[in-house]
Structure formats: C-alpha cells, structure tokens
Structure 1
C-alpha cells in the first residue's frame, strides 16, 4: 500500500473525538513515570503535576453555582512543563489526563489550530468549553497568527472554567524569542504566560540514551523485503510522498495512517523548502504517536532537514522531529 494513493476525508466530529492521548502513551500513568535520580527536577515535576491533578479532583464548593473547585488567588488555571526533548513531559501530561476528572481533552498545539480551522473559533470554544481540563502537548508559537489564535482560544476557555496543562521546549515567558521579531505579539505571549505555573523538567533525551547516532540507511531491496513481511505496511518514494503531503491539509495526516502498522520510505533526501519541512514535522508526529516503525533508504534520517533550517526559527520543532524519527528508524532497523 502507498500513502501517496490515499485521500482521507476527516469529519470535524472525528477531530474532536480524537482529542485523547496518542496510542504510544495509552498506558502512561504517574506510577509508571521513572524520574532520573540524577535529575532532581524530574521528581519535582512529578510531584507538581500530581498536586495539580489532586486540585482538579477536589470536590466543588457546596454553595454557589461554580461546578469546579475554587482556586486560591496564587493558584493559576494552568501548569506548564518546560524542558528538552525526551525528558518525560508527554508522559507526565498524559498521566495528568488519566488522573483528572472527565471530561478532559488532549491534543497537540497543531491539532488545536486544525480544529479551529474545521469548526471555526466560536465552534471550537463551544466544543472545548465544557471540559474540566485541556492538555496541550508541544506548545508552539512559530507563527504570529497562531500565537494570537491559540492565546485567544485558551483565554476564552479559562473564562469558562477549563483548567489548562501544556508542554513545550521553551519557558512560557520566552515563547516567541528568536522566532519572529513582532513586538505587537509580545503582549499576547506575556498574557498567556501569566496563566501558567511553569515547571522545569531537565535531563537527556531518553530516546537516545543508549544510541545517539541514527541507524544506517537500509538499501531499497531491504526496505521492500521488510514491507512485504508486514501485511499492513506502506511503502512510498520520498519525493512522491512529499508532493502528496502538499495536497492534503495536515489535519488529515493522522487519517492517512489508518490501518498502517509500519512505514517504508525509499530515497530519503533533504527537503528543499520550509513549507515542506513543516509538513514533514506533522507527519513525523503522527507516525510517532502511533509507534510506527520506519524502514528507510537513501540519506540517514537525521539529514532530512538542511543545516540552514536547523539554524533557523523552527530549529526546536525540527530537532524534535529528528529525535522522534530517529527513534522510529531505530525500531525499524531491528525488525
């Protein structure tokens, strides 16, 4: 099967229904998080997120019309986990989702922007405004328009009593620094920062603790053989797949992988432009969410983003994608 032959359609209702933790983290719980003893911030982050979950689960006041537990003045409506790649932020965020009273929502920053595109701003506020908690993984402010959009959305949700939890790789009061010189948006960034208690999570990327280097590329015959051994595997020529991604809205990339259990890619090569690179980031996130091993030929997987892109404003986004794609390629190399 070829991903480039698929034209999935995704109804808005599916986008809302899929606001749950990805399959890779289906079993994540506070009890299964293992703080690195050499990184005290990890144990501290675990304690902070547990305390946040307990506050959400506290019974509401007996009197009044408020359906959620009252906050003391110093308690903020959100918790923000900041740290590098692979330090367990998503594990903690997913554990919070499981421990929190329902209904709760869970999605990436990109998925939220896609939801607004499908439902409209007011429709998204209505769809999410009944939640007790909204978890936002991989918070990004690479685009000024998305900065205002998501800041406004979360502000409206907080006004409706929705608690917030988020992860990112930049402290909230530093969001946007080095990405775009737009002082008009600084006020939006600072206002958003004020809604979160920031918790730092330090440590090395667990995905690469045992092997830093990506696996050597496979030859095309090996990719074909491994795909043939998996009845639910796909295989695509890299340039053809990139062209196909350009024809689909990124909100459909998850559906593109429906029923797929492994992915073969031949002729891997560096992407040629920023728009293509950002589409690849979304695809890699969807592959990683589903724990799909990757069989790849061509250039090594850590060479798909040229050096000038890795030095630019989207650097952290690309590095996260490389971390995840390397892990998937390592899984594929052992199959």
Structure 2
C-alpha cells in the first residue's frame, strides 16, 4: 500500500488526529478552583438511596443512616449569621463547638466512601455556593491559589465542607490543614471527610508524625470516625481487568474515537512533571477517552504520586483509558506498594482498572 493510500485510509477513520495530553499546558484561574468545588461528574446523580450496601457489611448501612441524619441537621440559618464569610453587624458570635463538627468516613478503597460523601453534599439543604466538595489535594491547591486568609474568608460562609481522600503527605500540609479546618469549625462550618486512615493515625508511614502529634490530635478531634468495611465494589462480581492491547489497536482506536487523546506513557509521565497537579482536571477538559501506548513501570515515587492524581481526575470524569504495554496492576514496584503511600497506589490501580474496563468498547472486534 502506498503512503498516500495509507494516509487516505487513516483520514477515512476520522477527520482529525487524536488530541495529545502532552501538548496541553492549561492555566486555571483561582475563581475556577472555587466554582468547581462540587462533586465530580461521576457523582452528579448519586444519592443515599442509590448506594447499595453490601448485606454482609452492616457498617455500610449504618453509614447511610448516620450521614442522612447529619445532613438533615445542617438546615436552617448559618451559625455565623451570614454567607460568604461575612457576618451580620449585630449577629451573635457562634458558640464554640462542644464536640465533633464533622464525620470522618474511614475504610479501604472501593467501599463507596466518595459515593456517600457526594450523597451527603447533595442531601445538605443549602445552595451550591454554601457547600463545597473537593479532594484534599484540591483544598491545599486552593490555599496556594487564594492565600490562607482568603481561603478562610471564602469558605467560612459555607454550611458544609466535604474533603475526599483526606491524606497528610508532609508536615507543611499537616499544620496548614489543621489550622484551616480549626478556623472553619470556629466559623460554624460542618466538616465531612473520607480517607483510608483513621484521623488519629494521619501521617503514619509518611513522615515523623510524632513531631506533629499535637496538630494531628487536634485535627482528629474535629471528626466523629465512621468505619466502613467491605471489599472494593469495582471488583465485586466483575470480570478481571482486560489485558493490554497492542500499540496498533490503541492507535487505531484513538483515531476512530472522537475526542480521544493519544500519548506514549513515558512521555506523558514526563509532561506531568511540568504541570501542577491542580491543573490535571483542566488537562483532561473535553477528552472523551485516553489512549496510551507503551505503559511501563513508574520509575520513581514523585512520578507515581503525580500519576495517582491524574488517575483520580480521569476516574472522576469517567474517561475510559485504553492502553498497550504492561497491565495497570504492574505500574508500581513492590517497594511502593509496601510503603507509606501504598493506599494511594492501590486506589490508582483500582480506578485505572475500572476505566480500562470502560474502554473495551473502543477496540474494534
């Protein structure tokens, strides 16, 4: 076949070449970070009654009951007497909280914690501008974009702040978030968070937690821990993850799928090092499928943590991932999977596996 014929055949598949994540360098204004503090598209329609508890795990049913009651108790006027961080001139100062001002959903990956957290956000009787939802990383990025005092002012008028995947990865974040949440609680903001680690154990295995014990214990006191047991629902009763495809299959699928991106995996990892993780969501704007060739083990922990954030953003947006090379359960070394960030890596494997299943229909049979 001549080169002109091959080019013509490729053009017949789609009028335009696939997108490339490596070619994107998004800039995200601070006001977009605030406006986007709502449940991601994957969780737009979830509610408490769409959560399906495992009958073998009574803690899941209990969680629905506790959170439903918690949401119902957040109605009425804001305790601080006004919205958007501004108190009325003659408003009475809110009484100091006498107990936990939030709930903390603890459990392994895939037990539905984010589903329940988003359901709480939807069930809370407040306008979107009076309740916020974001990951722990997005919250710290917001502080970086707005500054600490402006973040406190912006969020103090909210009735509820939901924080997904609450993890303290370094001492600076420990002090920052502990101080931020303390000020928000004093302003009358209710808190809800999910994590794989109990509040009193935050930071263990990641840094010298003893040096920050006071901050960690103070943060822990803000929440009522609520344990959720169970296995990963993404694997419950589902077939095994599909094997990787060939480079040719992935490339053809990228050209045949409108809105698909096509990148080689090592090159994408290198590009992620030049894009701040707060922009990974914007990096995927308009992308309907991600096609990756030459998937290989992640070379180091910094790269691995960036990949975790990208996997979270793709999962939130329900973007299928089609790949060649190694299967996703071989991305991280044994040392990584046994280290302090192991729960992040297992979550990434779980989510990428789910997105790989979603991508099976992109490949012509």
Asked if these proteins are the same fold (TM beyond 0.5), I'd say yes
Q: Determine the structure 2 residue equivalent to 1:107.
A: 134
Counterpart-to-counterpart distance in 2, 1:324 and 1:196: 27
The answer to whether 1:84 aligns with 2:108 is yes
**Bigger Rg over Cα:** 2
CA distance in 1, matches of 2:281, 2:238: 28
Measure how far apart 1:185 and its partner are.
Answer: 0.7
TM-score by length of 2: 0.87
8 A contact 2:78–2:159 mirrored in 1: no
Please give the alpha-carbon distance, in whole angstroms, between the structure 1 residues aligned to 2:73 and 2:222.
16
Give the gaps of 5 or more residues in structure 1. Answer: none
> Normalization by structure 1: what TM-score?
0.95
- Tell me, yes or no, if the aligned pair for 1:106 and 1:134 is still in contact at 8 Å: yes
Tell me how far apart the structure 1 counterparts of residues 349 and 148 of structure 2 sit (CA, whole Å).
32
From 275, 291, 301, the counterpart of 1:248: 275
Q: Residues 150-207 of structure 1: CA distance to partner in whole angstroms, max 9, x if unpaired?
A: 1111111111111100000111112122222241211111111111011111111000
Q: What CA RMSD, in Å, does the superposition of the two structures yield over aligned residues?
A: 1.8
Question: Residues 301 and 10 of structure 1: is their aligned pair in 2 closer, same or farther, counting only changes over 3 Å?
Answer: same
Match of 2:214 in 1: 187
> How do 1:63-82 residues align onto structure 2 when only pairs under 5 Å count?
65=91, 73=98, 75-82=99-106
Contact 1:109 1:139 in 2 (8 A): yes
- Structure 1 CA distance for aligned equivalents of residues 169 and 290 of structure 2: 28
Does the 8 A contact of 1:60 with 1:66 survive in 2?
no
2:28 aligns to what?
Answer: 10
- Paired with 1:328 and 1:105, the residues of 2 have a C-alpha distance of 26
**Where do 1:95-174 residues align within 5 Å?**
95-100=119-124, 101-102=126-127, 103-174=130-201
Give the aligned partner of residue 333 of structure 1.
Answer: 360
Listed as ranges, the gaps of 5+ residues in structure 2 are 1-18, 82-89
Match in the other structure for 2:87: none
Deviation at 1:333, TM superposition (A): 2.1
Aligned mates of 2:239, 2:197 — CA distance in 1: 23
Aligned-partner Cα distance in 2 for 1:309–1:8? 30
Q: Check conservation: 1:60, 1:67, Cα contact below 8 A.
A: no
SS in 2 for 1:57: coil
Aligned equivalents of 2:97, 2:278: Cα separation in 1: 38
Distance 1:26 1:332, change over 3 A: same
Q: Over residues 55-91 of structure 1, what are the superposed CA-to-partner deviations in whole Å (9 max), with x where a residue is unaligned?
A: 1125679x993598x8984x42111111111111111
Aligned-partner Cα distance in 2 for 1:280–1:180: 21
* Partner residue, 1:258: 285
The residue that corresponds to 1:93 in the other structure is: 117
Q: Is the 8 A contact 1:25 1:94 kept in 2?
A: yes
Whole-Å separation in 1 of the counterparts to 2:213 and 2:68? 31
* Count of residue pairs the alignment pairs up: 332
SS in 1 for 2:268: helix
Residue 272 (structure 1) aligned to one of 267, 275, 299 = 299
SS in 2 for 1:206: coil
Q: Confirm or deny: 8 A CA contact 2:78 2:188 kept in the other structure.
A: no
